[in-house]
Amino acid sequence: MTSQEIKSLTNQYVMNTYGRFPVAIDRGEGARLYDPEGREYIDFTSGIGVSALGYGCEPWLEAVNAQGKKVVHTSNLFYTETPARLAETLCKRTGESCVFFANGGGEANEGMIKLARKYSFDKYGQGRSTIITLQNSFHGRTITTLKATGQDVFHNFFFPFTEGFRYAEANSLDALKAQAGADVCAVMLELVQGEGGVLPLDKDYVKAVEALCAEKDWLLLVDEVQTGVGRTGSLFAFQQYDILPDVCSFAKGIAGGLPMSGIMANEKCRGVLTPGTHATTFGANPVCAAAGLVVQEILSDAFLESVKEKGQYLRDGIEALNLPCFGKTRGLGLMIGIEVREGWTNKEIANRLIEAGLLVLTAGPGIRLLPPLVITRDEMDKGLEIMKKTLA
Ligand SMILES: *Cc1c(COP(=O)(O)O)cnc(C)c1O
């Protein structure tokens, strides 16, 4: 099919819930994507942080194929090898104790919220169920995770929302303390707020939140759906913040392109969710887990170091272009935000770059870049060249 045919068919039969860019993708290689007519795009998005290994990664394809030939799905009524091995790897590399696998980020966060409330219920009984989240956060699109999201624009249309969330300004311990109360059971945060605009939290603040949670027996819930799996230059961002969350969610990049998510809990929380209290039919899919194991193999410590270097290279490269529409860059590893100067909108900039052959994302009022972690120097240079040509 041609690009035009794909667009028409989509517009006719797929529910119109996405503001799509006018590009159809047919195939990819490395950090490059091609439309059906063969036009090349440099990909600074990796499908919103999902395709961590880029496109056409041979070991990944082989593992998916091999597991697919053995068995694709069995349900969690039986044991399978690959999810058990992936859970082991995640725990050994992070210091967490056990994993529950799900399918998407919002769903993982639902599990994290359920775990926090049950932890508190088991220990203190009813009435201690409020979770404090941060302003500008993003936690998902379910009725509960919309409400957990600290942005008013998401609290619309779908009433009634789940009760039990309060919001505090990021990076202010006083603001967090002002939301305290006998009804609180947990604090939930992203270490680098993604959709909110690529806003990294201060390390001192995060350490202080961890201490406050320990003092009050609140669970510290970290949403690493976007920051996790190497994106920030460590396997999980919490490792750079020098904390161990009670529960941490992950999704996007975990299986390098297949739908998988989950939560990891520390020793204190390992027994909270018991048989019958939490489940999902598709969770712990053996093919997704086999893909996840390849991602873990490739994300060695040396590779994670290279993610930091690439992030710095890209940020330096962007700032050196001195483009009239761009201010400062910020972020962690290959999770990069670019400030858009007054007089420009991120949407028009994204549209122009995409039209010129460079795929980028927006977040908050800025531009956001989440390139495949395997992006090469040459691909980054091509992307920078397109920025220069298009926006100078
Ligand atoms: C993308 C994202 C989610 C939602 O994940 P889905 O897979 O779309 O449900 C939740 N939290 C954060 C931080 C995210 O970036």
Summarize the chain as % helix, strand, coil (round to 5).
Answer: 40, 20, 40
Cα(62) to centroid(ligand 1), Å: 28
Q: pLDDT band at residue 318, thresholds of 50, 70 and 90?
A: very high
Question: How far is Cα 358 from Cα 350, in angstroms, rounded to an integer?
Answer: 9
pLDDT at residue number 156: 98
Report percent pLDDT > 70 for the chain: 100
Q: pLDDT band at residue 175, thresholds of 50, 70 and 90?
A: very high
- Which amino acid makes up residue 160? P
pLDDT at residue number 325: 98
Give me the torsion for CA of 343, 348, 354, 359, rounded to 10°.
70
Q: Are 26 and 35 in contact (CB under 8 A)?
A: yes
Cα(380) to centroid(ligand 1), Å: 26
pLDDT at residue number 44: 98
Residues with CB under 6 A from ligand 1: 104-106, 109, 138-141, 190, 194-195, 223, 225-226, 251
Q: pLDDT band at residue 246, thresholds of 50, 70 and 90?
A: very high
Residues 6+ apart with CB under 8 A from 339: 326, 327, 328, 329, 330, 366
Cα(330) to centroid(ligand 1), Å: 20
Average pLDDT, integer, range 357-383? 98
Q: pLDDT band at residue 15, thresholds of 50, 70 and 90?
A: very high
Helix axes 81-94, 286-298, angle to 10 degrees: 40
Report the nearest atom of ligand 1 relative to the CA of 48: 1
Give me the torsion for CA of 271, 213, 141, 201, rounded to 10°.
-130
- CA 95 to the chain's CA centroid: 20
Mutate to test the pocket of ligand 1, among 138, 144, 146 (most ligand atoms within 8 A of CB): 138
pLDDT at residue number 199: 97
Q: Round the CA-based radius of gyration of the chain to a whole number and report it.
A: 21
Residue indicated by tokens 């950090």: 31
Q: pLDDT band at residue 181, thresholds of 50, 70 and 90?
A: very high
Write down the pTM of the prediction: 0.98
Cα(250) to centroid(ligand 1), Å: 9
Residue indicated by tokens 């597991």: 67
Helix ranges (H only) for 71-219 are: 81-94, 105-124, 143-148, 173-178, 203-216
Q: Are 44 and 74 in contact (CB under 8 A)?
A: no
Cα(47) to centroid(ligand 1), Å: 12
3-class DSSP assignment, residue 176: helix
Question: How far is Cα 134 from Cα 147, in angstroms, rounded to an integer?
Answer: 11
Q: pLDDT band at residue 92, thresholds of 50, 70 and 90?
A: very high
Mutate to test the pocket of ligand 1, among 226, 280, 368 (most ligand atoms within 8 A of CB): 226
Q: Are 286 and 80 in contact (CB under 8 A)?
A: yes
**Structure confidence by residue, pLDDT tens digits, 202-245:** 999 999 999 999 999 999 999 999 999 999 999 999 999 999 99
Average pLDDT, integer, range 98-120? 98
